[in-house]
Amino acid sequence: MANRLPPHELRLSDQGAALLDEREGLRLKAYRDSRGVLTIGLGHTSSAGPPKVTEGMTITEAQAREIFRADNARFRDECLRLVKVPLHPYEFDALASFIYNVGSTAFAKSTALKRLNAKDYVGCAEALLFWNKPSEIKSRRKAEHDQFLNIRHVARA
């Protein structure tokens, strides 16, 4: 197995992007997610940055993909700022999915990040599972856990 790389050398892999795409699902009309947050495209919310999501907003698939790319760039920057240890590409992909879903502010305060920066990689993966509400997120968390540990690479487990 290849050595872990410094986070600044990592980018979301094609496989990681495809899994994240599948986990989020494409919606071209604004909707409220399970927590009531206005969302559009591939899981984009206003808290992720522009564009601001509004009631009744619609976008094209091309716009959704462009927003997704911009959101991923922002979350990558956040990961670089927060993660202080080297990662395998699949670990980075799993973290990108997790951060994309919970947000970088929540990740910054998480047990997962604390364990990761202490080089407790298995403990980090286990801590991803703590984020299990609402209940429909559990299969995504298990998949991110498994992806982080390179057990299997699926959208939902």
CATH number of the domain where residue 144 is located: 1.10.530.40
Who's near 75: CB < 8 A, 6+ residues apart?
48, 96, 99, 100, 104
Q: Which residue range(s) make up the domain with 34?
A: 13-148
| Annotated active-site residue in 9, 33, 61, 136 | 33
Q: What is the tally of structural domains in the chain?
A: 1
Q: Which tokens in the block code for residue 154?
A: 């699926």
3 occurs within a structural domain: no
71 occurs within a structural domain: yes
Distance CA 145, CA 12 (A): 16
| Annotated active-site residue in 9, 14, 22, 24 | 24
Q: Catalytic residue at 24?
A: yes
pTM for this model (two decimals): 0.92
pLDDT tens by residue, 16-69:
999 999 999 999 999 999 889 999 999 999 999 999 999 999 999 999 999 999
